[in-house]
């Protein structure tokens, strides 16, 4: 087995482990934090934005789908049937089912008196 094949097998194994993706994510944040501190805490050098760019670059470079990255970290995007905007909701708490919140009579009269 050549060195390239050995490295490829190690890479494939590591990709399936959540610890690998966690290490990549934390490492990317540490790089971003280092750059942030080196820039004298310039708000344009945001460590979160930098870590997102680094992780995104890794995913794009190696052709790894975001769902695979999220799933291996223990979380994935919400899957809600019938919704296309990606927002999870519970049908029992939809806007039409929520009770209206109105101030009680004493609260509304106290508000009008202080105005």
96: Cβ–Cβ under 8 A, 6 or more apart, which residues?
Answer: none
Cα separations (Å) of 58 from 9, 11, 62, 74, 90? 18, 13, 6, 19, 35
Summarize pLDDT for 46-102 with one digit per residue, the tens: 999 999 999 999 999 989 888 778 764 555 455 555 555 555 555 544 445 555 555
Cα separations (Å) of 111 from 85, 100, 101, 102, 105? 39, 19, 16, 13, 10
Which pLDDT value is given to residue 88?
A: 53
Cβ proximity of 12 and 26 under 8 Å: no
Extents of the domains making up the chain: 18-78
């Amino acid at each position: 087995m050549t060195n390239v094949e050995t490295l490829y097998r190690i890479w494939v194994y590591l990709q399936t482990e959540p610890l690998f993706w966690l290490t990549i994510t934390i490492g990317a944040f540490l790089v971003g934090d280092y750059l942030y501190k080196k820039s004298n805490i310039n708000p344009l050098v945001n460590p979160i934005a930098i870590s997102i760019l680094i992780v995104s670059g890794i995913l794009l470079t190696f052709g790894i789908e975001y769902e695979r990255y999220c799933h291996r970290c223990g979380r994935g995007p919400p899957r809600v049937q019938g919704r296309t905007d990606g927002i999870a909701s519970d049908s029992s708490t939809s806007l039409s089912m929520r009770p209206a919140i109105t101030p009680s009579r004493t609260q509304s009269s106290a508000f009008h008196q202080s105005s």
